[in-house]
């Protein structure tokens, strides 16, 4: 009976963590259509906006590191509750910021609570996997993309119809409802004896850093579309706010669709083939977006790019965790740090460049990064790691 109750609680926890992923994606996706309003409301340049987005990334990375220590001490459920409650107000405080200094502070906090929630919910998803003895990570990230699709897709329409403040308030209410459900049913990790503290050293095998480059170049496009696609459509292709919001929304929607099928596709065709095909699809989509003559062609191209991007990062992370001769923890530490800088820090550099050249050449250049992933895809072979038979005891 106890085992039955444990499985039932884990199944509820599985849907609770899925709701948290959706809420995180919804809040993040809702930020994308706010960006053009943010730029004009504060009367800032693309360069300044790039600095503010960099502050968002710095906040996320700072809180991610802190969150790891909190989870080790208090468990992912408790930490997820703290950051989840705070994250619901993240977009609203940015929308309320009246000037650049307060906008910088609000962006730091917004990035921090979103980043902290991201780490906590991924950790809780791992705990659910252990209790259910099956993988849920790919579909969990699918829920994040689905949330981004909904947030980005309806955000522009809501802003144009009701205004940016009403939109931010509405996002807060929806996120509170979703997380109010999710935080009640989260699973609790099994308690483990604290590991012995060891001196941290970076891996010496250069392959792990090349896998990190693959993760980085796979996440740069996601950050580029999230932070700059709406502005690109509005300023360079003449789209209105409602239409511009569909750029990230459709990108996230196709990512969600493929991520829900990601494990089956990879199991059938293998990590290397899946990564090669995915990177070429993503590169083609980004290239067409850069040369698009109309907003809707660009939106379709971003959506096509999302089909390819969806499985690239999970494969890179799996390759890192199964890299021969390197512990899973050390490999994941290097590759996740390099990878997340692509979505948290690289967009600020994109803003600096885009402010001088326009964003069309930037998206073309990003497509070249995806070709590099295609060329490096053979390094992902370790993602198809098959556990060796355990010796008899």
Instruction: Give per-residue pLDDT as tens, 360-387.
Output: 999 999 999 999 999 999 988 877 754 4
Mutual angle of helices 137-162 and 164-182, in 10-degree steps: 150
- For position 101, what pLDDT does the model report? 94
Query: Which residues neighbour 277 within 8 Å (Cβ) at sequence distance 6 or greater?
Result: 269, 308
3-state secondary structure of 294: coil
Q: Among 285-294, 349-358, 359-368, where is mean pLDDT lowest?
A: 349-358
Q: Where are the alpha helices (DSSP H) in the chain?
A: 2-31, 35-41, 46-74, 76-87, 90-96, 100-132, 137-162, 164-182, 206-236, 241-244, 246-269, 271-291, 295-309, 312-321, 328-344, 346-357, 360-376
Tell whether the model's pLDDT for residue 391 goes beyond 60: no
Higher pLDDT, 107 or 32: 107
Alpha-carbon torsion (224, 227, 230, 233), positive or negative? negative
**Contacts with 330 (C-beta within 8 Å, 6 or more apart), sequence order:** 202, 203, 208
What is the predicted pLDDT for the residue at 333?
62
For residue 41, pLDDT beyond 60: yes
pLDDT band for position 191 (cuts 50, 70, 90): low
pLDDT of 319: 79
Question: Measured between alpha carbons, how far is 2 from 9 in angstroms, rounded to an integer?
Answer: 11
Give the pLDDT confidence score for residue 321 in this predicted structure. 63
pTM, whole model, 2 decimals?
0.74
pLDDT given at position 146: 87
Look over the chain and give the mean of its residue pLDDT values, rounded to a whole number: 84
pLDDT for 393: 31
Helices (H), 163-202: 164-182
CA atoms of 29 and 9, how far apart (whole Å): 30
d(CA 212, CA 223): 16
Give 340 or 198, the one with higher predicted confidence.
340
pLDDT digits (tens, 9 = 90+) for 212-248: 899 899 999 988 998 889 889 998 999 988 888 888 8
Taking alpha carbons only, the member of 251, 196, 209 closest to residue 228 is 251
pLDDT: which is higher, 347 or 88: 88
148's tokens: 């981004």
* Cα 374 to Cα 359: distance, rounded to the nearest angstrom: 23
Determine the pLDDT at residue 201.
58
Chain-centroid distance of CA 74 in Å reads 24
Residues 87-96 have a mean pLDDT of 95
Lowest mean pLDDT among 24-28, 67-71, 220-224: 67-71
State how far Cα 353 lies from the chain centre: 22
In this predicted structure, the answer to whether residue 196 has a pLDDT above a threshold of 80 is: no
Is 91's pLDDT higher than 50?
A: yes
Lowest-confidence region among 182-191, 271-280, 291-300, 378-387: 378-387
Q: Is the pLDDT of residue 52 over 70?
A: yes
Q: How confident is the model at residue 49 (pLDDT cuts 50, 70, 90)?
A: confident
Percent of the chain's residues with pLDDT above 90: 37
From residue 27, alpha-carbon distances to 86, 90, 111, 144, 239 in Å are 12, 8, 11, 10, 23
C-alpha pair distances (Å), 389 with each of 135, 240, 318: 20, 59, 20
The highest-confidence range among 102-111, 117-126, 156-165, 246-255, by mean pLDDT, is: 102-111
pLDDT confidence of residue 68: 67
**Polymer length of the chain:** 393
Interval 93-118 mean pLDDT? 93
- Residue 37 to residues 28, 42, 49, 104, Cα–Cα distance (Å): 16, 8, 11, 16
């Amino acid at each position: 009976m106890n085992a039955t109750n444990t499985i039932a609680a884990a199944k509820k926890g599985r849907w609770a963590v899925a709701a948290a992923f959706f809420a995180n994606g919804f809040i993040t996706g809702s930020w994308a259509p706010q960006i053009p309003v943010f730029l004009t409301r504060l009367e800032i340049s693309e360069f300044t906006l790039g600095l503010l987005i960099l502050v968002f990334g710095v906040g996320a990375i700072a809180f991610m590191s802190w969150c790891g220590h909190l989870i080790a001490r208090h468990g992912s459920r408790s930490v997820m509750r703290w950051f989840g409650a705070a994250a619901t107000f993240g977009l609203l405080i940015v929308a309320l910021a009246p000037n650049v200094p307060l906008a910088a502070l609000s962006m730091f906090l917004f990035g921090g609570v979103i980043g902290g929630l991201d780490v906590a919910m991924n950790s809780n998803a791992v705990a659910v996997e252990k209790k259910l003895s099956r993988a849920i990570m790919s579909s969990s990230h699918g829920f994040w993309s689905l949330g981004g699709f909904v947030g980005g897709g309806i955000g522009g329409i809501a802003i144009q119809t009701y205004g940016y403040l009403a939109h931010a308030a509405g996002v807060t209410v929806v996120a509170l409802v979703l997380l109010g459900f999710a935080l009640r049913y989260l699973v609790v990790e099994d308690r483990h004896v604290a590991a012995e503290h060891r001196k941290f050293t970076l891996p010496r095998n250069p392959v792990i850093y090349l896998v990190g480059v693959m993760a980085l170049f796979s996440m740069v496009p996601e950050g580029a579309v999230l932070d700059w696609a709406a502005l690109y459509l509005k300023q360079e292709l003449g789209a209105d706010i409602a239409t511009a919001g569909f750029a990230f929304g459709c990108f996230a929607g196709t990512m969600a669709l493929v991520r829900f099928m990601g494990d089956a596709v990879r199991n059938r065709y293998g990590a290397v083939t899946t990564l090669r095909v995915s990177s070429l699809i993503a590169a083609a989509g980004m290239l067409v977006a850069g040369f698009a003559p109309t907003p809707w062609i660009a939106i379709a191209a971003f959506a096509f790019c999302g089909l390819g991007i969806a499985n690239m990062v999970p494969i890179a992370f799996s390759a890192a965790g199964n890299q021969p001769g390197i512990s899973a923890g050390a490999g994941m530490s290097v590759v996740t740090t390099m990878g997340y800088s692509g979505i948290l820090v690289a967009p600020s550099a994109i803003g600096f460049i885009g402010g001088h050249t326009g964003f069309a050449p930037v998206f073309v250049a990003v497509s070249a990064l995806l070709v590099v992933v295609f060329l490096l895809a053979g390094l992902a072979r370790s993602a198809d790691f098959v556990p060796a038979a355990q010796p008899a005891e």
